Amino acid sequence: MAGFSREVARRIFTEELKSSNYSFRDGEDQHQYAPQYLLTPTGAKCNRVFMVGILTEKDDIGGDTEYWRGRVVDPTGSILIYAGQYQPEAAQILANMEAPAYVAVVGKPNLYQTEDGNIIISLRAEAIQRVDEETRNQWIIDTARRTLERLQVLSSTSPATISDDFATADKVSAAATPAQDAQRAREHYQTDIDHYRQMVIRALTSLEGDLAEGRSKAKDAPATPTAKPESGIGESRIESEAGIEEPPAAEKVTPAAKRPRSKKIESLDAWPEQDSDEEVETFHIGKKS
């Protein structure tokens, strides 16, 4: 085995990231310093994530010390990012940034369970940097490619639950290959492969649309950034509509799923509402300041 090596930053669309609820520590002895991973529905085992999107809002939600929260939007939805005193550089950059803006974020996924059992995924930012539309486009196609690769592996796994005797369970956690991660993801989430294929297509289609109409605008005016977030918000609405259309598909899999899974579905549905609340709230703060 290799000694210390840096964790790869996975590429995951926010919709998939927020549908994740399976996190575990790796390593033979599961001590507290073993790296923490989040396994996503398509089988990305991530300790680190790289994303590029539009920062649509930012707030200092800290008390005495600054604690910055931002919302980053991609074609499939949005996710909250956090940077506080332990990420001073990222916090500083976020503090000095004006939303809306294109941002790149390198961060660690964070899983938080609310009292009523909802699971909320956010990113603890290690690095934030202002980028441009080009970079955002690169990221979408990059993330689409990686997601399709994972789906490819996923479709070669069997949807049936394999026997969970001790030996197999141990093997999976110790040296997991992408195929084993995929198998594990499929067992846990009962992943609807077609749903995620559609998500990728949606993201690519929106990018194609941006390129077709936005190309000339992007060239001559910095006005595009203000135009973009609107489309971002529009897309996040599409996501919430999709969320409403979702239940039939989701219910299909519920019987086979374990308990935490049904909680997760609630959280999925709950998100868009929560989102809109926060959006209104932060909008006011923005106006005051």
Partner 1 sequence: MKELVDQISARLKEQKIQVPDAEIESRLKKLIEEFRVPESEARRSVLNYFFKEHGVMPQVRASAEKAVISAIKEPGKWVDLQVKVLDLWEPATEAISQTGLVGDGTGSMKFVKWTKAGLPNLELGKSYLLKNVVTDEFQGRFSVKLNRTSQIELLETEVEAKPASLAAQPLKIVEIAEPGRWVDLTVKVTQLWEANSDAISQSGLIGDDTGTIKFVKWVKAELPNLEEGKSYRLKNLVTDEFQGRFSVKLNRTSQIEPLDVDIEVGSQSVEFTGALVDVQKGSGLIKRCPICKRSLAKGVCSDHGKVEGTYDLRIKAVIDDGRRVQDVLINRETTERLVGLTLDAAKQMAMEALDHEVVRSMIEGKLVGRYFSVTGPRVDRYILVESINEAPPVTVSQINELMSTVEV
Residues that bind partner 1 (CB under 8 A): 2-11, 50, 52, 89, 103-106, 126-131, 134-135, 137-146, 148, 165-166, 194, 197-198, 200-201, 204-205, 207-208, 211-212
CB of 286 to partner 1, least distance (A): 24
| Least Å from the CB of residue 166 to partner 1 | 6
The smaller minimum CB distance to partner 1, of residues 80 and 93, is found at: 93
Q: Inter-axis angle of helices 224-245 and 193-220, to 10 degrees?
A: 160
Question: Could you tell me the smallest distance in angstroms from the CB atom of residue 207 to partner 1?
Answer: 6
Minimum separation from the CB atom of position 274 to partner 1 (A): 27
Environment class of 96 (CB within 10 Å of its CB; exposed 0-12, middle 13-18, buried 19+): exposed
Give, in degrees to the nearest 5, the angle at Cα 209 between 15 and 198.
Answer: 35
- Is the CB of 167 or the CB of 244 nearer to partner 1? 167
Q: What minimum distance in Å lies between the beta carbon of 211 and partner 1?
A: 5
For the bound state, the minimum distance from the C-beta of residue 21 to partner 1, rounded and expressed in Å, comes to: 22
In terms of CB distance, is 141 or 249 closer to partner 1? 141
Residue 208 CB, nearest approach to partner 1 (Å):
5
In the bound state with partner 1, the residue whose beta carbon lies nearer, of 124 and 146, is 146
| Ramachandran angles phi, psi of 60, nearest 5° | -95, 105
Q: Toward partner 1, which CB reaches closer, 103 or 121?
A: 103
- For residues 134 and 251, which CB has a smaller minimum distance to partner 1 in the complex? 134
Cβ proximity to partner 1, 217 vs 277, nearer residue: 217
